[in-house]
Copies of this chain bind each other. A is one copy, B any other.
Amino acid sequence: MSTQDRFFIDRLAIVGVGLIGGSLALALKEAGCVGEVTGIGRGLPNLNLALELGVVDKITRELEEGVQQADVVFLATPVMTIPDLARRVLPAMKPGAILTDGGSVKGEIVERIEPYLSGEVAFVPGHPIAGTEKSGAAAAFPTLYRDRRCILTPTERTPAAATALIRRMWETVGSEVVVMDVDKHDRILAAISHLPHMIAYTLVNAVGSYDHFEENILEYSAGGFRDFTRIASSDPAMWRDIALSNRQALLEMLERYENFLGELKRDIAAADGQKLFEFFLNSKTLRDAIL
């Protein structure tokens, strides 16, 4: 990569050219901060689409070959696949290159990748806090990361210079970069992202299967319900992986949430208007502060 002050990645390899990987490629291209982008995947349909849409400049299904020349390799495949891909990618990368990822869970990924680090290639674990419920190369768009946060969770084994470069990469595409430890990342994400998805999926299942009236009561849902449950349209395989790989933190958050729900239920059962009002007002105040 260029060592001038201006940020530039000569050769970038994206493994998994979907929403997250594809959007990074598009954003870096739009910023004029990347040379050649190689898209690596399993299947030709998505890779060909990525090529047609100009998301990447070259495509290949040969993982090791695809990453050989890269200065930066970005793993953007489902969480569960990242460690194995990293294990294969690391020995094929050139010395001094940087491996980074965008997986939504960091603890499991870091734990399973670090044993394979040789010291020749740096690994910077990352997670852009951005997304939609769409997937694949067709879902990618260059402004996805603008005004979003990106969390990096370097460990003792991550060279500071590598973290600095990946930080600049995300800043270049418009994100505010926050560095924190792996455990903190996984707890925060469990709270603000993984728990809400579990809740949305559960709500839709609980309501959608309510067959008391021989008609689909979801037909009665208005805007509020539809907005509220939009995240229940997210990819089931991705969320299975996230739930499995962030199990501990997610279970803790679920328990915390259940306690609050139990409190609310007791207040409703007791018809305690004052407590209910306070509960709702407290929530509205917290919510309005992040509007």
Check: A271 CB closer than 8 A to any chain B CB. yes
Establish whether residues A193 and B290, one from each chain, have CB atoms under 8 Å apart when the complex forms. no
Which residues of B have CB within 8 Å of A247? 268-269, 271
CA distance A134 to B271 in the complex (A): 25
CB within 8 Å for A257 and B203 given contacts A220-B149, A236-B280, A244-B276: yes
A239 touching B187, Cβ below 8 Å:
no
How many chain A residues touch B (Cβ–Cβ < 8 Å)? 91
Is B226 a contact of A228 with CB atoms below 8 Å? Answer: no
Say whether A164 faces chain B, with CB atoms less than 8 Å apart. no
A81: interface (CB < 8 Å): no
Tell me whether A148 and B239 are in contact in the complex, defined as CB-CB below 8 angstroms, given that A200-B228, A205-B283, A208-B286 are known contacts: no
Q: Which residues of B contact A161 (CB under 8 A)?
A: none
Q: Quick check: B287 and A204 within 8 Å, CB to CB?
A: yes
A195 touches B202 (CB 8 A): no
Q: Whole-angstrom distance from the CB of A169 to the nearest CB of chain B?
A: 19
Please tell me if the beta carbons of A280 and B201 are within 8 angstroms of each other in the complex: yes
Indicate if the CB atoms of B236 and A207 lie closer than 8 Å. Answer: no
Q: How far is the CA of A129 from the CA of B225 in the complex (A)?
A: 11
Which secondary structure dominates where chain A touches chain B?
Answer: helix
A187 contacts which chain B residues (CB < 8 A)?
212-213
In the bound complex, what is the Cα–Cα distance between A197 and B243 (angstroms)?
A: 24
A236-276 interface code vs B (CB 8 A; 1 in, 0 out):
11011001100100110110111111001100110101001
CB contacts (< 8 Å) of A200 on chain B: these are 228, 283
Q: Is A192 touching B206 in the complex (CB atoms < 8 A)?
A: no
Chain B residue nearest in CB terms to A254: B265
In the complex, A269→B201 CA distance in Å?
Answer: 17
Q: Which residues of B contact A3 (CB under 8 A)?
A: none
CA distance A252 to B265 in the complex (A): 10
Interface centre among A184, A189, A232, A256 (most CB of B within 10 A): A232
Asked if A217 is at the interface of the complex by the 8 Å CB criterion, the answer is: yes
Q: Which of B220, B239, B276 has a CB less than 8 Å from the CB of A188? A: B220
Report the Cα distance A272→B277, complex, angstroms.
39
Is the beta-carbon distance between B130 and A222 smaller than 8 angstroms? yes
* A116 at interface by CB-CB < 8 Å: no
Starting from the known contacts A191-B217, A202-B283, A228-B228, 15 additional A-B residue pairs (CB-CB under 8 Å) come to: A187-B212, A193-B221, A197-B224, A200-B228, A201-B280, A202-B261, A206-B259, A206-B260, A209-B286, A210-B256, A224-B231, A234-B284, A236-B281, A247-B271, A254-B268
Q: 6 tightest A-B contacts by CB?
A: A236-B280, A208-B286, A201-B283, A236-B281, A206-B260, A204-B283
